[in-house]
Amino acid sequence: MGAEAMSRGASRVLFVDKSREACRLVERNTEFLSGSGIIRIIESDVLRFLSTFREKPERGRMIVYFDPPYRDQRLYRQVFSAFDRKKPENLIFFVEHGFPLDVPELLHLHLWKERRYGSKWITAFTTIPDFW
C-alpha cells in the first residue's frame, strides 16, 4: 500500500515491520520509487515504534495502513489505543483484518467506513471532523 501511495504522489512513506526479511523485501520493491519522495523503512515492533513516533503531517493528511497478522487480536486493540492517545491530526487510519473488530472505546479515532472483501475486512477510522 505504501508503494501505491508513493506512486500516486505521496511525499513521504514510512514502512514499519519487525521482520528483517519483510523490510528487505519492501526495500527491493520500492527501489524504483526512490525519486518520487521520501521512503523510510524501519525494522521495529509496531508498539515500540508508536511509543516514540512524533511526526505530524507537514500539510494534508496522514494516512496509515495497518495490516498485522490476523490472529493477533490483542495487537489490534493495543495499536488503536496507542494511536488514540497520540491525538493525531488529519489522520485516516485503515485497518485490515479477517474478523469483526473488537474496538476499544476511543476518544479521538472515529469509525468512518467498513467494507468486506471476501474473507478480508478493511475498516477506516479518522480524526478529521468533517469525515464523520
- 80-94 per-position pLDDT tens digit: 898 888 888 888 899
C-alpha cell recorded at residue 66: 495497518
Task: Identify the sign of the CA torsion 107, 112, 132, 89.
Answer: positive
Mean pLDDT of 68-79: 88
Whether the model pTM is above 0.75:
yes
Pairing verdict, β 120-126 and 110-117: antiparallel
Closest CA to 84 of 112, 55, 50: 50
CA 128 – CA 116 distance, rounded (Å): 23
Domain range list for the chain: 1-44, 46-132
Q: What is the pLDDT of residue 132?
A: 59
The overall average pLDDT reported for the chain is: 86
Q: Which residues contact 107 (CB under 8 A, 6 or more apart)?
A: 84
Q: What is the pLDDT of residue 3?
A: 83
Looking at domain 46-132, its CATH superfamily turns out to be: Vaccinia Virus protein VP39 (3.40.50.150)
The answer to whether 126 touches 91, Cβ cutoff 8 Å, is: yes
